[in-house]
Amino acid sequence: MEEEMIKDNKTILIVDDEPPIREVLVYNLKKEGYNVIEAEDGITAVNIATEQRPDLILLDIMLPKLDGLSVCKRIKNTYNVPILMLTAKDSEIDKILGLELGADDYITKPFSVRELVARVKANLRKVDASNNVGRLDAFETEKKKENKIIVNDLELDLDKFEVKVRGEIMDLTLREFEVLKFLASQPGQVVTRETLLEKVWGYEYYGDIRTVDVTVRRIREKIEKDTSAPKILITKRGVGYYIATK
């Protein structure tokens, strides 16, 4: 009962045209204490998301009327909400494209309900953490005014969630900022993909490390002059990533 009270303000939109899948997800998410709303096609999903603004969306790729990738793009253009793509396709391009359009995560069918619920919790925790930033009294705000990480041309303002490269503000998503923050807090130290997945995405199990690679590629496209020869966010082949100190 206590857990339900904690989560009763969190609403999850499930978008899938297969009733059995929706039923399983609705049952398990309600059991976790979440409010659940449903849509069985892409157009309805966009309308519901725009009007009701759920806290998280589980979105199938293959949908009638409007495919999941288009739905993701339209919703992300309206407001920033965690979107987990559900896909039965084994094609990597669909997964990567989903992330490029703003999806925060993806999970492949058939999936473990326990794994899916863990990912839902991890993504919602990240949103809660970001929303709590800045809720400080005047004294604490003054005290934390210079809460920054600076490594050569890279500057992160941890209070504003702002990234500058050579003085120019870069437009990063929250997830991209968190990845860069984790790496920049330990410049020169190589961090494995598995560690990034655990610490930044918050997974309590082994997830898909390709999610990390896609996010790093997006960051490079924004902060590097030449993505083929990065100078800030470096790859240690076969190991992971690090922020250059020279």
- Written in H, E and C, the secondary structure of the chain is CHHHHHHCCCEEEEECCCHHHHHHHHHHHHHCCCEEEEECCHHHHHHHHHHHCCCEEEEECCCCCCCHHHHHHHHHHHCCCCEEEEECCCCHHHHHHHHHCCCCEEEECCCCHHHHHHHHHHHHHHHHHHHHCCCCCHHHHHHCCCCEEEECCEEEECCCCEEEECCEEECCCHHHHHHHHHHHCCCCCCEEHHHHHHHHCCCCCCCCCHHHHHHHHHHHHHHCCCCCCCCCEEEECCCEEEECCC
- What average pLDDT score do residues 213-230 get? 91
160 plus 67 within the same structural domain: no
62 plus 104 within the same structural domain: yes
Q: Compare 156 and 141 and report the one with higher pLDDT.
A: 156
142 plus 126 within the same structural domain: no
- pLDDT of residue 8 exceeding 80, the answer is no
Kindly state the percentage of the chain with pLDDT values over 90. Answer: 48
pLDDT tens digits along 111-154: 888 888 988 988 888 777 666 554 444 444 444 446 899 999 99
Among positive and negative, which fits the CA dihedral 77, 80, 86, 91? positive
122 plus 176 within the same structural domain: no
pLDDT at 136: 42
- Of these ranges, 5-14, 22-31, 90-99, the one predicted with the greatest mean pLDDT is 22-31
15 plus 116 within the same structural domain: yes
Rounded alpha-carbon distances, angstroms, from residue 51 to 25, 69, 120, 221: 22, 19, 21, 33
236 plus 163 within the same structural domain: yes
- Which of 132, 159, 193 lies at the terminal end of a domain, its last residue? 132
The CATH number that applies at residue 197 is: 1.10.10.10
| Interatomic CA distance for residues 133 and 131, integer angstroms | 5
pLDDT at 55: 95
Sheet strands side by side (includes 105-108): 35-39, 11-15, 56-60, 83-87, 105-108
Preceding omega of 110 cis (within 30 degrees of 0):
yes
Report the amino acid identity of residue 208.
Answer: D
23 plus 118 within the same structural domain: yes
* Segment among 84-88, 142-146, 172-176 with least mean pLDDT: 142-146
| Interatomic CA distance for residues 148 and 156, integer angstroms | 5
- Which of 116, 132, 148 lies at the terminal end of a domain, its last residue? 132
Give the total number of structural domains in the chain.
Answer: 2
- What average pLDDT score do residues 206-218 get? 81
228 plus 111 within the same structural domain: no
- Which of 132, 147, 171 lies at the terminal end of a domain, its last residue? 132
CA atoms within 13 A on the CB side of 222: 20
The CATH number that applies at residue 88 is: 3.40.50.2300
33 plus 119 within the same structural domain: yes
pLDDT at 91: 65
Tokens representing residue 200 in the block: 């930044």
171 plus 69 within the same structural domain: no
17 plus 55 within the same structural domain: yes
pLDDT-based confidence at residue 17 (cuts at 50, 70, 90):
very high
Task: Report pTM.
Answer: 0.67
- What average pLDDT score do residues 4-9 get? 49
98 plus 164 within the same structural domain: no
Tell me the residue range of the domain where 185 lies: 138-243
pLDDT tens digits along 34-68: 999 999 999 999 999 999 999 999 999 999 999 99
pLDDT at 29: 95
